[in-house]
Amino acid sequence: MTATTDGSTGATLPSRAAAASDTTLTTPEAAGAPEAAAQAARRATDFLLSRQDAEGWWKGDLETNVTMDAEDLLLRQFLGIQDERTTQAAAKFIRGEQREDGTWATFWGGPGELSTTIEAYVALRLAGDAPDAPHMARAAAWIRERGGIAAARVFTRIWLALFGWWKWEDLPEMPPELIWFPGWMPLNIYDFGCWARQTIVPLTIVSAKRPVRPAPFALDELHTDPANPNPPKPLAPANTWDGAFQRLDRALRQLRKVVPRRLRKAAMNAAARWIIERQENDGCWGGIQPPAVYSVIALHLLGYDLEHPVLREGLASLDRFAVWREDGARMIEACQSPVWDTCLAAIALVDAGLPVDHPQLVKAADWLLGEEIVRPGDWAVKRPQLPPGGWAFEFHNDNYPDIDDTAEVSLALRRIRHHDPERTDRAIGRAVRWNLGMQSKNGAWGAFDVDNTSPFPNRLPFCDFGEVIDPPSADVTAHVVEMLAAEGLAHDPRTRRGIAWLLAEQEQNGAWFGRWGVNYIYGTGSVVPALTAAGLPASHPAIRRAVTWLESVQNDDGGWGEDLRSYKHVREWAGRGASTPSQTAWALMALLAAGEKDSKAVERGIQWLAATQREDGTWDEPYFTGTGFPWDFSINYHLYRQVFPLTALGRYLHGDPFERQLLARTPRPRPEAAKPTGSPLSEAKGS
């Protein structure tokens, strides 16, 4: 057994044999792969059916990192609404996530992360943990060794500035006048991805107001030099992007001093209107936690009291992100994923052989149809003539349907024999039309917006954490192509442009980059089934290169895994890591689509899934295999460990679901909106 060292994190890079050793196998006795797969699929089906909500949806916990929990406590402290039960429950969760070296990571098994550790430490101090307690002293020492608060990301220092732990004047400028930038102007708010613009707009108000609610204690122990906590940083050369934007920030600091008060007040009021107009029916913003937190703070600073309906409902929505665990700990979800989880669960169950008219599948279809978005949202800024359609990720998020969910929901609904097939056809027809209308210039698809590829937002000094733009990705594009193929549009010129883009994006090693899942295994597991569904033969060179790569990174235990470090260290970590159920399933889905059912690699992968399944039909997966921002923000979707293995097992046992089922159905009319030529939409968009 061999290992190398990743010098940037101190992590040990495992060989495939070492990665395999993380899992103890109990190979089914004397069972071949088909028998083992059938037994595992039955167990997984029973478990998944037992977890459906009475309304028809599924939702697993969405686990991220403790910054969600820390910032929730900081928000309550800032607003003066903290209560002892919530504080102690959150502190219990945060303590439970601390590593032995005193740090907190952003994903399970990952390296300590400075800003996350600072925020967790401050939250525990608010909960009453003494700075000289051993676990706190270890954290503080580690923070100081890595530069202290001054080395933290901007968003962390914004939180500290709210309490006087950092000076506002030492933070980048975020002028609220940004709200008035027209669409043609660089750095207008629609140059940012939807998640970023929802956060930045309220933060411009916070930055303009520069509030300070005096903290109950100092944080001198987190500075390398408390007497000089923020030594000046040297300017980058003026002929570099970093240098140019540093100088722009300096100019904005000077501008702040001369902007007329009436103008600034008008800009903040315009930003407030923008925020309020985008509040969802349940009180949240975009169905995700960070914009809700900053929107509440911003509106409160403008004079909205906590009993105002906008703030009252906003705060109530934040409580719905809390998951109370049996041990009394309280975890905050950054987001909730019922639409995504439900469509993936339905796909898994049908592919595993559940009758297409099973009552629970019909109930899921009913719920999904009821979640269709039928009004314009922020996407209409770039596509004003495009009629609405599609689905979002969350319970309530009508402003931001996403292209990925829309594709996967359509694929799920096509698998189910609903009692109102015309309603299903109409909903899918609108979804196809909307997704085609959201195709970017290069032929591919992003997650939420069209051509959201400006190079400038990521350069801004306050955008030092994660992605703030939404360029097309291979996994989203693949899901759209797969949906279009299922709708009989494999030869549509727009579909072929998507396929051409995917083929051009294949890495030299045969894999595809995974934007919304970890990482090359996810990308490859998404693209290969899409390409074969669209008619590429298994003998196509791109498919063969993908198969060769997947076989080369299979672990010695038969499974597949990939560590998040592959986002930073591609050569060493791509396709490498301890075997996980979801990543093993993605690899199998690709290999099965490529015609490799009888291969040794598939047999070993199926055996691994069967052998690692628990008696109750579940799998264990502490690893984070979902992606918010590559490397910076990682997700453990707790239902991934169930739906993807079941999908892979089902396809191994029963083959392609559409070949098996769609041909047996009553022919359906081709959605009128999907016609490639002659429609006003295709002409207007130059498709």
Structure tokens at 339: 């639409």
DSSP label at 13? E
Query: Residue-wise over 396-409: b if at least 16 C-beta within 10 A, else e?
Result: bbbbbbbbbbbbbb
Q: How far apart are alpha carbons 683 and 687 in whole angstroms? A: 7
Catalytic residue list contains 449 = no
DSSP for 348-359, written as a single string = HHHHTT--TT-H
Report the sign of the C-alpha dihedral through residues 671, 344, 591, 479, in that order.
positive
The answer to whether the CB of 245 falls within 8 A of the CB of 461 is yes
Amino acid at 303: G
Query: Residue-wise over 597-617: b if at least 16 C-beta within 10 A, else e?
Result: beeebbbbbbbbbbbbbeeeb
Q: How far apart are alpha carbons 120 and 125 in whole angstroms? A: 9
CA 661-662-666 angle, 5° bins: 115
257 Cβ neighbours under 8 A, 6+ residues apart: none
Partnered with residue 324 across adjacent β-strands are 330
Structure tokens at 160: 């500290």
Q: How far apart are alpha carbons 682 and 424 in whole angstroms? A: 23
Q: Which of 404, 405, 449, 557 is catalytic?
A: 404
How many CB atoms are closer than 10 A to CB 72?
Answer: 23
Partnered with residue 63 across adjacent β-strands are 636
Q: How far apart are alpha carbons 64 and 545 in whole angstroms? A: 33
Q: How far apart are alpha carbons 429 and 668 in whole angstroms? A: 11
Amino acid at 103: T
Q: How far apart are alpha carbons 452 and 470 in whole angstroms? A: 5
The answer to whether the CB of 378 falls within 8 A of the CB of 357 is no
DSSP label at 674? G
3-state secondary structure of 384: coil
Amino acid at 243: G
Q: How far apart are alpha carbons 424 and 419 in whole angstroms? A: 9
Residues designated as active site: 404
